[in-house]
Amino acid sequence: PSIDEAYLDVTENKIGSTSAIKIAKLIQHDIFVELGLTCSAGVSYNKFLAKIASDYEKPHGLTVIMPKDAKKFLADLPVEKFHGVGKATEMKLHEMGIFTGADIQAADPLVLAERFGLYGWKLFQKANGIHDSAVVTSRQRKSVGKEKTYGKLLYQIEDVKQELINLSERVADSLKKHHLKGDTVVLKLRYSDFRTLTKRKKLSEKLSEAEALALVAQDLLEEIDYDDTLGVRLLGVTLTGFGAEELRLDMPD
């Protein structure tokens, strides 16, 4: 199964290499040596093509799509391989006689836009190798949360409260790492019958300490009228409401 994926803009890079292919090979090598895991990589001149390329030879391939080859590469792809084309869109495209990238390339973009709105125009552009979405290397964090699913169900409220303490400590560690404080605590609880409850509380002051976070989470547990006959399958504790103090982070936890 796939673990995760990311986009990298290597126009400027730490090793000073002018070859994106070389960098992709080095990343694959380092991941395998350090973690014993394989990964696929796609190299191209925009995000859409790099994503298509990375999916082409899983689990340990390296596919490169050069600008001169892009339209031919895309022409051979079935429409369902284009990002955003689900079953419903695929059926509508088939009804229009569009089955491959070549068919999209030959289609009237105005007709596509009329049928699918803005996505129709974007689909036409993608099929022609045009995609100007930038690689975003930072983002604003809106919340920090931790969840845990329990193979052995929790019944006693004291056990649930202890798990809330454990989760709060993990959240606090992340908050400390990123110098964050928030004023809204969210509790998530899922019973064995998969009924999921969420409860939140906005505080008068921002907090980041594990003890304070756990106390609020435990108060929320009391407020949801906990049923100890069902058994808890999942618990989650989240802190949000960072406001103006929210930091821009390179990567999520």
The structural domains of the chain, with segments of one domain joined by +, span 20-127, 141-243
Q: Which CATH class is domain 141-243?
A: alpha beta
- Within 13 Å and on the Cβ side, how many CA atoms surround 106? 12
Closest-CA residue to 6 (of 178, 247, 250): 250
Average pLDDT over every residue of 110-131: 95
pTM over 0.85, yes/no: no
d(CA 49, CA 29): 22
Question: What's the pLDDT score for residue 142?
Answer: 84
Residue 166 pLDDT more than 50? yes
Which SS3 state, helix, strand or coil, does residue 134 take? coil
- Tell me the pLDDT of the chain averaged across its residues: 90
Closest-CA residue to 129 (of 191, 74, 209, 52): 74
E strand residue ranges, the chain:
41-43, 62-64, 139-140, 143-154, 182-191, 196-207, 232-240, 248-249
- Taking only the tens place, the pLDDT of each residue in 135-164 is 876 667 788 999 999 999 999 999 999 999
Closest-CA residue to 82 (of 58, 111, 51, 59): 51
Question: What's the pLDDT score for residue 250?
Answer: 35
State the catalytic residues: 5
Q: What angle do CA 52, 55, 57 make, to 5 degrees?
A: 120
d(CA 53, CA 44): 8
Q: What is the CATH number of domain 20-127?
A: 1.10.150.20
Question: What's the pLDDT score for residue 5?
Answer: 83
Residue 252 pLDDT more than 50? no
Do residues 135 and 7 lie in contact, with contact meaning Cβ atoms separated by under 8 Å? yes
Question: What's the pLDDT score for residue 138?
Answer: 65
Residue 247 pLDDT more than 50? no
